[in-house]
Chain A
Amino acid sequence: MNIPMEYYLAVSTIMMFAGIYGFLTRRNLLAMLISVELMLNSVDINFAVFNRFLFPGELEGFFFTVFAIGVSAAETAIAIAILINIYRNMRNIQVENINELNG
């Protein structure tokens, strides 16, 4: 194995910030969710990579990745349920229009 760990980290960092950028700028809630998925994914890569390169004998990173995937699946499911509900009520899912939720 001759690829340095930093390479992986760089890739995941770029992915992370692509997600952040999307989260900050997109107006569609679904697009924002997709950005969140990107971020989660990049974190997953970091978990795995740290585990593999720095602590190969142990499995924390590995399992956290597994759990994170599970959690993100759950989160996505709930979020999409909420979104569809909002869509039913308001006929769009633009983020600016949803500040009425704050009371």
Chain B
Amino acid sequence: MDFSLQTIVFLFLATVIIVCSILTVTTRKILRAATYLLFVLFSTAGIYFQINYSFLGAVQLLIYAGGITVLYVFSILLTYSQRKKGDRLKSSKVVAGLTATLAGLGLCLFITLTHPFTPSHFEFGELDIKTIGFSLMGMGKYQYVLPFEVISILLLACIIGGILIARRR
């Protein structure tokens, strides 16, 4: 592997993702966690861009980094209580969680790295937006109008549910 720009970018993104993920779950301050999450989401968008899924990257940036994070920040501020100083963790829980996590991580990495994937040789072309649009709206094979509709109904249901739940009684 030569140190092309691609590689450097990837290494940068990977480092940011790994470090920020870990910081997200270990920091005591919830607002910081949200901030680190934001970095992770940005870097993930970077990964998408890197593998030439720029539409996906854009969606990621818009919805995740733009929408959801803001939602988090708002709700954090809404539920912030002065009495609670940080998020103290129970050590037994940490040990159990850490053990399970590390074991799982080791196992998954082992499987991932030893599994003989057969990557096909492909051309890294940009996916044009027209193909995406037709696939999303088409009704044929490998076309996704049904899941699209299902998701839209789900979103509608969520909107209604969110309003209902959050409404003051």
Contact = CB atoms under 8 A, between A and B. Distances in A.
B161 A13 contact: no
Interface residues of A, number: 74
A3 interface: yes
A3 B79 contact: no
B151 A67 contact: yes
B154 A74 contact: yes
Given A80-B71, A82-B165, A74 B105 contact: no
A73 B68 contact: yes
A22 B101 CA distance: 10
A38 B25 contact: yes
A77 B44 contact: no
A76 B79 contact: no
A21 B165 CA distance: 29
Given A4-B119, A44-B44, 18 more contacts: A13-B109, A14-B21, A25-B93, A26-B25, A26-B87, A27-B87, A33-B72, A41-B44, A44-B60, A48-B47, A52-B51, A58-B142, A59-B127, A62-B132, A71-B151, A76-B71, A76-B72, A91-B81
24 contacts: A7-B14, A8-B47, A13-B105, A24-B100, A25-B89, A31-B87, A34-B24, A34-B37, A34-B72, A35-B24, A35-B25, A37-B68, A48-B53, A48-B56, A54-B118, A60-B142, A62-B127, A63-B135, A63-B147, A66-B59, A67-B147, A67-B148, A74-B158, A83-B79
Interface of B: 1-2, 4, 6-7, 10, 13-14, 17-18, 21-22, 24-25, 30, 33-34, 37, 40-41, 44, 47-48, 51-53, 56, 59-60, 63-64, 67-68, 71-72, 75-76, 78-79, 81, 84, 87-90, 93-94, 96-98, 100-102, 104-105, 108-109, 112-113, 117-120, 122-124, 127, 131-132, 135-136, 142, 144, 147-148, 151, 154-155, 158-159, 161-163, 165-166, 168
Interface of A: 1-11, 13-22, 24-28, 30-31, 33-35, 37-38, 41, 44-45, 48-49, 52-60, 62-63, 65-67, 69-78, 80-85, 87-88, 91-94
